[in-house]
């Protein structure tokens, strides 16, 4: 009796292994995608090899993003007897900025002679050079859209930087 039971059990095991598994559930349909997908930005490397031993950055410098922060060397020959207006035009050459049109208010400033101590400035930022040449009585107004530089008289004008005690003997 044991001999007929063994093939029957083996046949049952074999048939159980051949059974078909139940069908998998149907996959859910993904939602419709928008017509235009934004293209992923290409990764720009922060550094590139320029030479065998030289790596350079691909990021813009502060001076390239903000031209008023570029370093300048102002050298105006004293023999030229330059005015403040001429000095400002000289400083702004090749900076990307221009001096605004002369008006009666700033013509007063532009006709003044350039102080001897300001014939050589720098290295200094362009913004600081423009502020120093204009002087403390004038406010620097920068128009970033037109890239022009103007001056406006401060109201009220700043007090004298000297104390009356400095002049007493």
Residue 60 within any structural domain of the chain: no
Residue 99 within any structural domain of the chain: yes
Hey, which of 31-45, 66-80, 146-160 has the most confident mean pLDDT? 66-80
pLDDT for residue 168 is more than 60: no
**End-to-end Cα distance, the chain:** 138
pLDDT for residue 169 is more than 60: no
pLDDT for residue 80 is more than 70: yes
Total domain count for the chain?
1
In degrees, to the nearest 5, what angle opens at C-alpha 150 toward C-alphas 159 and 140?
40
The answer to whether the pTM exceeds 0.85 is no
Residue 133 within any structural domain of the chain: yes
Residue 97 within any structural domain of the chain: yes
Burial class (CB in 10 A: 0-12, 13-18, 19+), 147: middle
Confidence class of residue 165 from pLDDT cuts 50, 70 and 90? low
Residue 49 within any structural domain of the chain: no
d(CA 73, CA 90): 11
pLDDT for residue 123 is more than 80: yes
Residue 159 within any structural domain of the chain: no
Which is nearest to 70 in space by CA: 93, 89, 103?
93
Task: List the single range of 21-25, 65-69, 78-82 with lowest mean pLDDT.
Answer: 21-25
Domain that includes residue 116, residue range: 69-153
């Amino acid at each position: 009796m044991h001999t007929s039971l063994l093939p029957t059990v083996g046949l049952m095991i074999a048939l159980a292994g051949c059974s078909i598994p139940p069908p998998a559930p149907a996959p859910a349909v993904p939602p419709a995608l928008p017509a235009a997908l934004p293209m992923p930005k290409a990764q720009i490397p922060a550094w590139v090899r320029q030479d065998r031993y030289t790596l350079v950055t691909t990021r813009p410098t502060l001076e390239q993003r903000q031209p008023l922060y570029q370093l300048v060397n102002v050298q105006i020959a004293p023999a030229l007897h330059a005015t403040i207006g001429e000095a400002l035009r000289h400083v702004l050459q090749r900076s990307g900025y221009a001096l605004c049109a002369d008006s009666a208010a700033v013509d007063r400033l532009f006709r003044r002679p350039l102080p001897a101590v300001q014939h050589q400035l720098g290295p200094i930022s362009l913004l600081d050079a423009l502020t120093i040449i204009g002087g403390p009585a004038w406010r620097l107004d920068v128009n970033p859209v037109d890239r022009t530089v103007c001056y406006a008289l401060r109201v009220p004008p700043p007090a004298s930087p000297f104390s009356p005690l400095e002049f007493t003997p």
